[in-house]
A and B are shown apart, each in its own frame.
Chain A
Amino acid sequence: MARILDLFGPVALFGNEPEELIETVSTAPREEAYPAMNAWEADDKVYVEAELPGMMADEVDVRVTGAELRLSGNRKAPNFAGGSQVRQERSCGEFSRTITLPWDIDSLSVSAALSDGILTITMSKAERCKCRKIEVRNA
């Protein structure tokens, strides 16, 4: 990023050392695989979440096969004709990521919702992967 700013030299709006004013810690590594995902389990349901800011539901494709979840889409670059870009930190363009869950998923149970740039995928484990309590009989 500094390199981009350097091209614009001292005229850059936000100066050469803007980071000094950040009062915060750095983020967790976000750019290893896009998008980063969190997943958790509750009551036989599996939740997978991804941050997709700026995206609309029809720009995201979610597919489930067996234990594989594939998430793909295309994040449009900000369209700002006539301006010159002085800083670029956000990634855009096509992405696709496949993760393998610890269990097979009942594909009919999968639902996905995109709200405020957060994609939440809710799934049920396949019946044969669910935990069953077995009644023990006196014999």
Chain B
Amino acid sequence: MQASNTETQTPAPASVQRQAEAPLYTPPADIFECGDGYRVYLDVPGARLGDVDVTYAKETLTVHARVKPRRASGQEYLAREYGVGDFQRSFNVTAPIDGAGIRAELKNGELSLFVPKAESAKTRKIAIKAQ
């Protein structure tokens, strides 16, 4: 893709094509359930703040983290045990949740999501009154 593209040209197809060719990796996840929601932890090493998109639509929670190459392309690997590229993963959320209340934090390449349950699904402690 040329850096000199102007907006009147069509950089979009090139960009789309480049994304399609780039490898996408599935980040491993840990999920915890508690009374008021779910904690989701995803490993996205190499992703920085601003490189991570979290979206929720149609009962699907999607995380996309862009990861830039860290090695000059001309350098040969002595050992290559993992690939470097964007992370993406989608979850089908079947439980009632409050999509607008989802919060996300990124720290040291670890993404933490809090997915609150819908009010109707939250665990409620019922106070017992003495007679």
Query: What are the residues of chain B within 8 A of A78 when measuring CB–CB?
Result: 30, 32, 39, 41
Query: What are the residues of chain B within 8 A of A101 when measuring CB–CB?
Result: 78
Determine which of B30, B39, B82, B93 lies in contact with A51 in the assembled complex, contact meaning CB atoms within 8 Å. Answer: B82
- Give the size range of B's interface with the partner: 35 or more
Query: What are the residues of chain B within 8 A of A14 when measuring CB–CB?
Result: 31, 91-94
Q: Is the interface of A mostly helix, strand, loop or mixed?
A: loop
Q: Which residue of B lies closest to A29 (CB)?
A: B81
Q: A13 to nearest B CB, angstroms?
A: 5
Given A36-B82, A42-B75, verify A89-B30 contact (CB < 8 Å): yes
Query: What are the residues of chain A within 8 A of B70 when measuring CB–CB?
Result: 49, 118, 120
Residue pair A25, B92 in contact (C-beta under 8 Å): no
- Give the size range of A's interface with the partner: 35 or more
The residues of A with any CB-CB pair to B shorter than 8 Å are 11-15, 17-18, 20-30, 32-33, 36-42, 46-47, 49, 51-56, 78, 80, 82-90, 99, 101-102, 114, 116-118, 120
The residues of B with any CB-CB pair to A shorter than 8 Å are 23-26, 28-35, 38-39, 41, 43-48, 60, 70-72, 75-84, 88-95, 97, 107-110, 115
